[in-house]
Structure 1
Amino acid sequence: MAETPRASRTAVLVCQGRAAAHGLVAPDRFSDPTALALLRADEREAVVWVRDGRAPKEWRTRVAFETVKAITELMVPRSVAIDDAVRARLGQQVVILGAGLDGRAWRMPELAGVEVFEVDQPASQQDKRSRAAVLSGRPPTYVPVDFRTDDLSRTLAAAGHLGDRPTTWIWEGVVPYLTPAEVEATVAAVAACSARGSRLVVNFQLPVPFLKLGSLVGRALSRSAGQTSVFTREPWRSTWTPSAMADLLARHDFTVTTDQNVLDVAESLPVPIWHRRSLAQSQVQVADRG
């Protein structure tokens, strides 16, 4: 029997974090009214616990609560950094790479008159389209792509993307799951269809000591709660220093104009900070062409 297409566990977790934060955490800077609507009923339970500040006593549900609480802390500053960069230099087209359950096409009024393309794995995107049917407003153009095998520029062009017009690219939460070679191939494909005036906003993870140990601990906690860790099916395959990413972008004619650590962004916002080390592992670079 064929497996029902579903968004990745990471995509669901990110959406849960945004839903938990909406209207409660830094509401003047962060808002995502689409997130809760994009979740299935069983995925909303942990969101309600976090929003209510009600930690379950039973271990299995407590692990789910703590996981969503931690991702909520990350989602607000990361989203703020990326959204600000998009607003500051909005191209005639926006492409969201590895969109998952992203709601920007609906939630950002600045994108109302812009052609938005969402690129993602076919199975994940099929599930996203089903979930997004409840949202009002103009949907994005969905572009199913396997980043490891498909020609991104050719597939985008077939979907209506115009390579001779400026594009704002959003690449959030995807880079760690690609090998260095796959990251470079994607940057090359982005460059191939980026006119002058284009902007690439890329989020990546920094190299940190004991990364494998943290992954093992996460898996052990998930197993103890009878759950499958996100690291099992979706392991990290690459980390980057800011200089290494900037060098890669420069080789493809993108100049880094903003380089922000997510912890620094969090410290500039009225948000609680519990996991400083985790926030400090995440980086957002903004790179412009021409």
Structure 2
Amino acid sequence: MDGGPSRTAMMAAGGRAAHLIVDSAPYLFQDTVAADLLGAQAEEVIGYHRRFGDHVVLSGTRAQVNARSSYTEARAGAGFPQYVILGAGLDTFAYRSALAHRIAVFEVDHPATQQWKRELLENAGIDATASRFVGVDFERDDLAAELSAHGFDSGTPALVSWLGVSMYLSEAAIDTVLAVLGGFAPGTELVLEYALPPELRDESGSAFAEFALPAAAEQGEPWLSCFTPQALTELLDRHGFTVAEHVSQRDAVTPELWQRTDTLRPADLCRLARATLRS
């Protein structure tokens, strides 16, 4: 990244903010800070959802980012004293959740992305000290050392979320990060979002991919990795993790939240793997 805004971070935050404006209740998730964080860019980003919100990519993005956030933040309430957000982007957990007052939150991302986010937080009048910013270039920096330098206790279990990232990485890069996470304390829980291969996607997932993946590649962010649930289970197992469940978008929230009057529908394109590090 060259210091400019992250397109994927903007899309994710915009999808969370727009959900409360474009879609009807019941809401999959309520990110009440995302629009403020986007600041001057909010109206442009949310405006796309206002005008073209029924398009498969925009509605699919809102469903994806809100369902995965709902599921993952529910796990943050399971008693973990530390929460590591890999590829944090414009995540707002630390700035709106009551849990953040008793959990040490570590936001890990590229230093340029974090500088941009700090500027957005300052412009919005949001206290940035609720989170610890861990700037990491995964190609050059030591993730474990950087976390430790910012107060992370590798001897205490943590919740680790890794959402919206793995599909943009090679399997070798994913393997490298998992090797680091495998050195965390037993009982550490990982929620990892991964992309399904084409043959496992449903009709809605395939439609989203048909539009979104070529556009992402054209903008320099191609999808590089897909996994079957079995293949990912085996990969996580090699790094000491036992998978508890693979969660579809439909199952990431309670069933009644999909009983909707708007056009928001779940798609099976990406899933969440929840796994616990063995002793």
TM-score band w.r.t. shorter chain: 0.7 to 0.9
Q: What is the TM-score normalised by the length of structure 1?
A: 0.81
Q: Show the 5 A alignment for 1:207-226.
A: 207-209=197-199, 217-218=211-212
How far off its partner does 1:114 sit? Answer: 1.2
Letter in 2 for 1:79: S
Determine the structure 2 residue equivalent to 1:239.
Answer: 226
C-alpha displacement of 1:184: 0.7
> Take 1:19 and 1:213, find their aligned partners in 2: how far apart are those partners?
23
The sequence identity of aligned pairs, in percent, is 31
TM-superposed deviation, 1:216: 6.9
Counterpart-to-counterpart distance in 2, 1:260 and 1:212: 18
1:135 aligns with 2:134: no
How many residues were matched structurally?
A: 268
Shift of 1:73: 2.2
Residue in 1 that maps onto 2:31? 32
Write out aligned runs for 1:85-164 (5 A). 85-87=75-77, 89-133=78-122, 134-136=125-127, 138-164=129-155
Mark the CA change 1:126 to 1:198 in structure 2 (over 3 Å): closer, same or farther.
Answer: same
- Measure, in 1, the Cα distance between the counterparts of 2:232 and 2:210: 27
Q: 1:200 aligns with which of 180, 184, 190?
A: 190
How far 1:43 sits from its partner (Å)?
A: 3.9
The match for 2:66 among 68, 72, 76 is 76
Q: 1:255 deviation in Å? A: 0.9
Question: Separation in 2 of the partners of 1:44 and 1:72?
Answer: 16
Contact kept, 8 Å, 1:106 with 1:138, in 2: the verdict is: no
Q: Does 1:260 align with 2:247?
A: yes
Q: Give yes or no for contact 1:46–1:68 (8 Å, CA) kept in 2.
A: no
- 2:269 counterpart of 1:285: no
Off by >6 Å, runs of 4+ in structure 1: 63-66, 210-216
Distance 1:21 1:212, change over 3 A: closer
Q: Specify the SS of the correspondent of 1:149.
A: coil
Query: Which residue matches 1:224?
Result: none
Q: Flag structure 1 segments of 5+ consecutive residues without an equivalent.
A: 56-61, 221-228
Closer/same/farther in 2, CA of residues 287 and 117 from structure 1, 3 Å limit: same
Residue identity matched to 1:96: I
Q: Deviations over 1:192-245 (max 9, x none)?
A: 2x112211111111111499997675477xxxxxxxx33321111101111111
**Distance (whole Å) between structure 2 residues aligned to residue 170 and residue 25 of structure 1:** 27
Q: Determine helix, strand or coil for the equivalent of 1:270.
A: helix
CA drift at 1:173: 0.5
Q: Is contact 2:35–2:42 with CA below 8 Å preserved after alignment? A: no
In structure 2, relative to structure 1, the CA distance for the partners of 1:144 and 1:138 (3 Å cut) is closer
Distance 2:181 2:39 in 1: 33
Q: Is the 8 A contact 1:13 1:68 kept in 2?
A: no
Aligned to 1:13: 11
- The alignment partner of 1:257 has SS state of strand
Q: Is the Cα contact below 8 Å between 2:68 and 2:272 reproduced in 1?
A: yes
Task: Tell me, in whole angstroms, the C-alpha distance in 2 between the residues paired with 1:181 and 1:136.
Answer: 36
- Per-residue Cα deviation, 1:72-93 (whole angstroms, up to 9, x for no partner): 1222222122122222x33211
Cα distance, 1:181–1:213 mapped onto 2, change above 3 Å: farther
Supply the distance in 2 between the matched residues of 1:10 and 1:137 (Cα, whole angstroms): 21
The letter of the residue matching 1:171 is W
Partner residue of 1:223? none
Partner of 1:226: none
2:86 and 2:160 in contact (8 A); partners too: yes
- Secondary structure of the corresponding residue to residue 243 of structure 1: helix
Task: Kindly state the Cα deviation for residue 190 of structure 1 after the two structures are TM-superposed.
Answer: 1.1
Partner residue of 2:216 out of 220, 226, 230: 230
| TM-superposed deviation, 1:26 | 5.0
Unaligned runs of 5+ in 2: none
Counterpart residue type for residue 198 of structure 2: V
Does the 8 A contact of 2:4 with 2:112 survive in 1?
A: yes
